C-alpha cells in the first residue's frame, strides 16, 4: 500500500484520495447549472429571472442550517455515517431532476440537493484537519480547494455542452456524489487507524500542527467572526458572475455553450490558485490577500466594461485566481483558531456557512442596490461588486496587523 505524509505520520494514499473525492461535490449546488440559466429562460418563458436564479439560490440557502447541523453533530465516530447520508441524498436529488418538468418541481428538488450537500460540506474540510497537520495540512487544504473548484470546471463544461441537446441531461452532473460513496470504506475511522503509520508513536487524530499554537489569542470567537465576515464578502463579490454572466452574454448575442466555457474559466484559475498557493505565498508574503483581491477587482470590472468573448474569458480568469488564493488562506486560518482537532469540523461549519450565505444572498443584494440606485443596466452588478471588492481591500490594508490579514510564507 502506498502512503503520503500527513505531517505526523504516514496516511494511506487511497484515504487521501477518498477524502479529496468528497470535495468533488461541495461546489456543485447551483453553480454547476449556471450555464443553462439563459436556456431555462426559453424553456420556461413565464418564469422570471429571479425564479430561474432560485435554482442556484435555494440549494445554497437550504445548505446553511444543514452545514451547522452537520458540524454540531459530527465527531470522529459518526462523521462517516453523516457523510454517507448526505452523499446519498445528494445523488438522489440528481436522479429526481430527470423527472422534473415544472419550475416548482425543479426548485423543490434543489432544496433537497441543499440538504444533502449541507451534511457533506463541513466534513470534507474537517477530515483534512483531523488527519493532517502543519505544512501537510496546508497543502491538503489547498488541494481540497483546487479539487472542489476543478470539479466545477468539468461540470460547467459538461452542462454547457449538454445544453445543446437537452436541458434535463445537464442535471446528470449531480450524480458525482456516487464517486465518494464508492470510496467511503477507505476513509472510515477504523480503516485509517488500521493502516496509519504514526511518527514518533503519535496516534492518528492527535495532531500537533497549526492548531497547537493560538495566534488568535484568547478571543477565538471574535477571530472566527472576522473570518466569517471576510469569507462572506470575498464570496459575494466574485460570485456575481455566476448569476449574471449567463444573462449578460445572452444579451450580447453569445451562445449557452460560450457561457459554459466562460464560467469554467473561473474554476480553472481557482483550481490553479489552490495548488500553487505555497509558491504564491512565498513570492507575495504579507501582500498575498491584497494581490488576490486586487486581481479579482480587475476581473470584475472587466465583465462590466468590455463585452467581447475574449474579455469575458480574461475577466473570469482573474476573478477565479483571486478567489482560489483567498479560499484556502481562510480555511487554514480556521484550523489555527479551532481549540483542538475535534472542534475543527464545527469551526469549518461556521466559516463555510458564511460562504453559502453569500452565495444565497448575492442576487437579492444586487437587486436591492439596483432598486436603491434605480439602475437596472446589465453591467450594474459588476460595477457594484468591483467597488465593493476595492472597499474590502482597503479595509484589509487598514487592519493589516490583525491575525485575519497577516499572511506570509511561513504558513506554507
All structural domains of the chain, each given as residue ranges with its CATH number in brackets, are 11-182+203-411 (1.20.1250.20)
Task: Say if residues 21 and 146 touch (Cβ distance below 8 Å).
Answer: no
- The C-alpha atoms of residue 20 and residue 177 are separated, in whole angstroms, by 12
Reported as half-sphere exposure (CB side, CA atoms, 13 A), residue 215 has a value of 15
At 30 the pLDDT is: 66
- Which residues have a Cβ under 8 Å from the Cβ of 288 and sit 6 or more positions away? 280, 281, 325, 329, 407, 408
Write out the three cell numbers for 286: 504579507
At 401 the pLDDT is: 87
At 155 the pLDDT is: 80
282-291 long-range contacts, Cβ below 8 Å, gap at least 24?
282/409, 282/412, 285/407, 285/408, 285/409, 286/400, 286/406, 286/407, 286/408, 288/325, 288/329, 288/407, 288/408, 289/325, 289/326, 289/329, 289/396, 289/405, 289/407, 290/393, 290/396, 290/397, 291/325
> Which pLDDT tens digit goes with each residue over 201-226?
455 444 433 333 444 455 677 888 99
User: What DSSP character marks residue 86?
Assistant: H
At 32 the pLDDT is: 58
Residues of the chain with pLDDT under 70: 30-35, 37-38, 49, 75-77, 200-219, 256-257, 260, 340-342, 408-412
At 365 the pLDDT is: 92
Tell me how far CA of residue 320 lies from CA of 266, 297, 299, in angstroms: 4, 11, 9
> Which pLDDT tens digit goes with each residue over 120-143?
988 888 888 888 887 788 788 888
At 185 the pLDDT is: 92
At 92 the pLDDT is: 95
- The C-alpha atoms of residue 24 and residue 18 are separated, in whole angstroms, by 10
At 408 the pLDDT is: 54
At 178 the pLDDT is: 93
At 361 the pLDDT is: 85
At 211 the pLDDT is: 39
- pTM for this model (two decimals): 0.76
At 148 the pLDDT is: 85
At 208 the pLDDT is: 37
User: Cα Rg for the chain, rounded, in angstroms?
Assistant: 20
Amino acid at each position: 500500500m502506498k502512503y503520503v505524509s500527513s505531517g505526523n505520520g504516514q496516511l494511506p494514499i487511497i484515504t487521501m484520495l477518498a477524502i479529496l473525492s468528497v470535495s468533488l461535490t461541495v461546489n456543485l449546488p447551483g453553480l454547476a447549472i449556471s450555464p443553462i440559466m439563459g436556456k431555462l429562460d426559453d424553456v420556461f418563458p413565464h418564469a422570471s429571472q429571479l425564479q430561474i436564479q432560485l435554482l442556484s439560490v435555494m440549494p445554497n440557502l437550504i445548505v446553511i442550517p444543514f452545514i451547522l447541523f452537520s458540524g454540531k453533530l459530527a465527531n470522529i465516530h459518526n462523521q462517516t455515517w453523516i457523510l454517507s447520508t448526505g452523499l446519498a441524498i445528494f445523488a438522489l436529488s440528481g436522479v429526481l431532476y430527470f423527472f422534473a418538468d415544472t419550475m416548482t418541481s425543479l426548485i423543490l428538488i434543489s432544496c433537497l440537493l441543499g440538504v444533502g450537500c449541507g451534511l457533506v460540506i463541513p466534513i470534507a474540510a474537517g477530515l483534512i484537519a483531523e488527519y493532517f497537520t502543519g505544512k501537510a495540512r496546508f497543502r491538503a487544504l489547498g488541494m481540497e480547494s483546487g479539487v472542489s473548484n476543478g470539479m466545477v470546471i468539468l461540470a460547467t463544461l459538461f452542462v454547457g455542452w449538454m445544453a445543446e441537446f437537452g436541458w434535463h441531461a445537464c442535471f446528470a452532473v449531480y450524480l458525482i456524489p456516487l464517486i465518494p460513496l464508492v470510496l467511503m470504506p477507505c476513509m472510515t475511522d477504523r480503516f485509517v487507524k488500521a493502516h496509519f503509520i504514526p511518527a514518533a508513536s503519535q496516534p492518528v487524530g492527535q495532531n500537533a500542527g497549526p492548531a497547537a499554537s493560538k495566534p488568535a489569542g484568547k478571543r477565538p470567537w471574535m477571530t472566527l467572526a472576522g473570518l466569517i465576515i471576510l469569507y462572506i464578502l470575498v464570496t459575494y463579490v466574485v460570485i456575481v458572475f455566476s448569476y449574471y454572466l449567463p444573462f449578460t452574454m445572452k444579451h450580447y448575442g453569445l451562445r449557452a455553450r460560450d457561457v459554459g466555457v466562460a464560467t469554467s474559466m473561473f474554476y480553472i484559475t481557482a483550481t490553479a490558485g489552490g495548488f500553487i498557493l505555497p509558491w504564491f505565498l512565498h513570492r507575495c508574503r504579507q501582500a498575498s490577500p491584497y494581490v488576490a483581491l486586487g486581481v479579482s477587482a480587475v476581473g470584475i470590472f472587466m465583465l462590466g466594461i468590455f463585452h467581447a468573448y475574449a474579455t469575458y474569458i480574461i475577466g473570469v480568469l482573474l476573478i477565479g485566481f483571486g478567489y482560489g488564493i483567498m479560499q484556502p488562506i481562510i480555511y487554514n486560518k480556521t484550523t489555527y483558531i479551532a481549540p483542538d482537532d475535534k472542534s475543527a469540523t464545527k469551526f469549518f461549519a461556521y466559516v463555510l456557512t458564511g460562504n453559502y450565505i453569500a452565495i444565497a444572498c448575492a442576487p437579492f443584494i444586487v437587486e436591492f442596490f439596483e432598486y436603491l440606485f434605480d439602475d437596472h443596466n446589465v453591467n450594474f452588478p459588476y460595477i457594484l461588486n468591483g467597488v465593493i471588492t476595492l472597499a474590502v481591500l482597503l479595509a484589509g490594508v487598514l487592519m493589516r496587523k490583525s491575525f485575519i490579514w497577516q499572511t506570509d510564507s511561513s504558513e506554507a
